[in-house]
């Protein structure tokens, strides 16, 4: 059972997301939530619980909907989430949502361009094999670069999930190329799941 403060914020964000997706509210493109679906949030929450995850990385915070689903599970393990976002307005909204949901203590927002932040992190020994769970959900153009920078930072048996494998359809072809790129790597196992917008679920084997 999700606690009251978290479920209130998740409900509010789900309503907003529905209004945006059905175009019942007009929102400037840079302000849109572009959030994962509820069932995807539930899946991430379950994976984090199954893995007893302590350290999570997210690329693409937006207003924090996916982060809050994950924080609900990880905080029970006294775990921490680092989440990367470049849009200041969204960072402000995410921080407010984290406060309302009472999950701020588990989350650090890393502000800036994902490539620069990930490149810097990848040179720090601390992050070698560090993350139990990673969500890649920012711009799709750089998804292969993000994956290649992130993989060494993932623990053996750690999980990387990438959103938007199937929807919106405009990304489908490039995301297929991304999936084929992952499949060439003998150190991982990966599947494209039709849940939500299509989730690539990748496990680091060695
Ligand atoms: C699909 S949304 C993330 C949705 C969020 N994970 C959720 O489900 O609630 C993608 C976010 O990535 C951010 N973003 C896109 N390109 C980025 C980049 N190069 N560096 C950092 N953030 C980026 C966007 O500003 C946007 O808020």
Domains and CATH numbers, the chain: 4-204 (3.40.50.150)
- Ligand 1 first shell, C-beta below 6 A: 33-36, 60, 62, 65-66, 84-87, 90, 113-114, 137-139
Nearest residue to 79 (alpha-carbon basis) of 57, 97, 56, 47: 56
pLDDT at position 186 over 90: yes
Could you tell me the pLDDT band of residue 2, with boundaries at 50, 70 and 90? confident
Q: What is the pLDDT of residue 1?
A: 75
Predicted model pTM: 0.98
Q: If you compute the radius of gyration of the chain from its CA atoms, what whole number of angstroms results?
A: 16
Q: Which ligand 1 atom is at minimum distance from the Cα of 135?
A: 6
Where do runs of H (alpha helix) occur along the chain?
4-21, 38-50, 65-74, 88-101, 114-122, 143-150, 172-183
pLDDT digits (tens, 9 = 90+) for 34-72: 999 999 999 999 999 999 999 999 999 999 999 999 999
Q: Give the pair of three-digit tokens for residue 167.
A: 């929807």
Q: How far apart are CA 93 and CA 33, in angstroms?
A: 10
């Amino acid at each position: 059972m999700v606690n009251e403060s978290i479920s209130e914020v998740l409900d509010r964000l789900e309503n907003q997301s529905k209004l945006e997706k059905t175009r019942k509210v007009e929102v400037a493109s840079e302000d849109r939530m572009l959030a994962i679906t509820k069932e995807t949030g539930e899946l991430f929450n379950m994976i984090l619980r199954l893995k007893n995850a302590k350290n999570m990385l997210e690329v693409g915070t937006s207003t924090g909907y996916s982060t809050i689903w994950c924080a609900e599970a990880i905080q029970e393990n006294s775990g921490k989430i680092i989440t990367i976002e470049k849009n200041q307005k969204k960072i402000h909204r995410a921080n407010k949502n984290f406060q309302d949901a009472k999950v701020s203590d588990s989350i650090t927002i890393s502000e800036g361009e994902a490539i620069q932040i990930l490149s810097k992190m990848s040179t720090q020994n601390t992050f070698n094999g560090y993350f139990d769970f990673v969500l890649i959900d920012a711009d799709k153009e750089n998804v292969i670069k993000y994956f290649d920078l992130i993989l060494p930072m993932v623990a053996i048996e750690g999980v990387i999930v990438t959103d938007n494998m199937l929807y919106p359809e405009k990304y489908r072809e490039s995301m297929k190329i991304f999936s084929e790129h992952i499949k060439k790597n003998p150190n991982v196992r990966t599947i494209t799941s039709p849940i939500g917008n299509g989730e690539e679920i990748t496990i680091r084997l060695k």
